[in-house]
Amino acid sequence: MAHWLSSSLVLLLCFAISTIAKPSSFSFKDNFDVMFADDHFKTSSDGQVWSLYLDKETGCGFQTKQRYRFGWFSMKLKLVGGDSAGVVTAFYMCSDLGAGPERDELDFEFLGNRTGQPYTIQTNVYKGGVGGREMRHMLWFDPTEDFHTYSLLWNNHTIVFFVDRVAIREYKNNVAESNDFFPNEKPMYMFSSIWNADDWATRGGLEKTDWKKAPFVSSYKDFNVDGCQWEDPYPACVSTTAEHWWDQYQAWTLTDSQQQDFSWVGRNLVIYDYCNDYERYPKLPPECALHSD
């Protein structure tokens, strides 16, 4: 504990020096702020890999300085290995800095597991503070062994969750008149964080976090945003220019090859879909009628 804290100071110092000596391609400080627990955040000496630490005291998180409305948001993550039951790492976009009651949110959540048991990835969509739209997938690789890319495509027609460029979830804006379920008005920050969720995450809360294994570490690199940075006044982020490919017609639906991958994922890797959960929703939410095909 004390050891990694002091080495993190050294690393932070190196980071400061290296950014002065050599302007790096991408700087954490220019684009992000640590949200909480600065001493649980570390960067590699070249500044390119960031790590979040969770121990019994606290987790940690960071957020973009800017808000965006629509675009492509992507990050490489390497998740906590070994015994990670109870630990959740999230990569998400949210309109609020706190968990406000009216927030819009798009979530990737990685739910840890006991050693050798597979991670699951949970996604969710909130509109105006209303979520409850979970899906859970198995992955086709071990996300703790190496970095993999997790991305969101967001425009006014669709929200697509990608893993290594494979579309795992598509959330469409198909009801022209009603806008109760599709987040498209509020600009969002991008966040990532690690925390203890052993009250629900692993086998419904039965598997508890083993604090003897702390600290738990998730690592990040290659943040990439190609989106519309929000500027007041609204609606500064509506664009029709060809550079803004994420808004263009081609990005409103999946391509044929994306559709093939997506169908394969749907047949093989989905372990939970709220749209099939009739116990929870005897009357399914309206968007469920639209997204099945």
- The active-site residue out of 102, 109, 134, 145 is 109
CB of 233 to ligand NAG, least distance (A): 14
Q: How many Å apart are CA 182 and CA 184, to the nearest integer?
A: 6
- Select 40 or 127, whichever has its Cβ closest to ligand NAG: 127
Q: Which one, 203 or 291, has the nearer CB to ligand NAG?
A: 203
Which phi and psi (to 5°) does residue 203 adopt?
45, 50
Query: What is the DSSP secondary-structure string of 230-241?
Result: --TTTTTT----
CB of 58 to ligand NAG, least distance (A): 22
Query: In what side-by-side order are the strands of the sheet with 41-43?
Result: 41-43, 50-54, 216-229, 68-78, 148-154, 158-163, 166-172
What is the SS3 assignment for 37? coil
Angle, alpha carbons 49-108-11 (nearest 5°): 15
Query: Cα separation of 48 and 190, whole Å?
Result: 18
Query: Which H or E element spans position 81?
Result: none
Please state, in angstroms and as integers, the Cα–Cα distance from residue 178 to each residue in 130, 142, 174, 185, 212, following that order: 15, 40, 9, 13, 50
Q: What angle do CA 219, 147, 36 make, to 5 degrees?
A: 20
Q: Which is nearer to ligand NAG, 43 or 83 (CB)?
A: 83
The residue (of 48 and 122) whose beta carbon lies closer to ligand NAG is 122
Is 109 a residue of the active site?
yes
Contacts with ligand NAG, residue ranges (CB under 6 A)? 111, 113, 117-118, 120, 156, 173, 176, 179, 184, 201-203, 235, 238
Query: In the numeric block, which tokens belong to residue 283?
Result: 């009357």
The catalytic residue among 105, 170, 207, 287 is 105
CA gap 168, 15 in Å, rounded:
36
Decide if 104 contacts 135 (C-beta within 8 A).
no
Q: How far is the CB of 5 from ligand NAG (least distance, A)?
A: 30
Give the whole-angstrom CA distance, residue 277 versus residue 153.
26
Comparison of 105 and 247: residue with beta carbon closer to ligand NAG = 247
Nearer to ligand NAG, 42 or 244 (CB): 244
For residue 194, the minimal CB distance to ligand NAG (Å) is 15
**Residues identified as active-site:** 105, 109
